[in-house]
Structure 1
Amino acid sequence: MTVDCMVEDPRWAAIEDLAQVATDATLTRLGLEPSVFEVSVLACNDARIAVLNEDFRGKPRPTNVLSWPSAERGAAMDGEMPVMPQFGPDNELGDIAIAYDTCAREAAEAGKTIGDHTIHLLIHGTLHLLGFDHERDRDATLMEGLETEILGKLGIADPYRNDTGHQAS
């Protein structure tokens, strides 16, 4: 996988390595060869992502991660797998933006390392680039299950469960 990182906020010192781990693990899990695909990552702060969130989603506030797929790949039926990209002349999957302030705050609130939370958010963003979504119930179940499985293979705890093993609300 080629990950092109644009670092606007210097607090994102390790973003390139984290992005590589997250995108490679996601593509590998889905049976795709990571070396033939490309993703761009913007590592920014809350002020920048708030502008992007308003411009593209009409929500004038910061968020943790945003993604822009290069093509529509979503599943027609709730809970079905999206159409996976094929190796071809354009192997750009899309763009991801991630905000340091929100990521760091969420990690601290959840008692996680910022590295683990960043990998989770980048896996989440990569799945969006591949057509996964969480708007419909079964789509959300599929996406969260994949996130949990990929994170588990990386030795990172299930982000959707609390310390007692119950689903987080």
Structure 2
Amino acid sequence: MTQTTARPAALDWSIDTCTIERAMEILGEKSTIVVLREVFNGVRRFADMREHSGVPRQVLANRLALLVECGVLRREPYQEPGARVRHEYRLTEKGLDLYPVLVAVKAWGDRYLAEPEGPPLTMVHRECGTEVRAELRCVDGHAVDAYREIAPRPGPGARRR
């Protein structure tokens, strides 16, 4: 017996304006997420990032340049006594808006990839000290507990193929 499946409705829509694809053009390299991890954790200087992350020098320079060019990070000058001016990297508002992405990636890693003793990092709310986690809610405020409850639909920028 052969089973036929309905043609997915997504095939009727163009992906030319896909914002997921556009975001991944910026964030899609492993080293980019690692660089963001460093900056979110307060490691802002090139040499410190290089030492702590293990990202090769040229790759790190390229990722930082891309993140600055895209407005995710900004460069701020600093100078140690007797040394030349250098730059450290700070998150912009656009960069800070990636925090839920990193929290969600960390949660997935904690669930499936952590060592038996647990994850190496916890993220807590500064004010109360309890753990922070990413959560999905619809615009009306309902928590989405089962991801299969989510249905993709064409948005206002969708274009038919």
Q: TM-score, normalised by structure 1?
A: 0.22
Question: Which structure's CA Rg is the greater one?
Answer: 2
Q: TM-score, normalised by structure 2?
A: 0.23
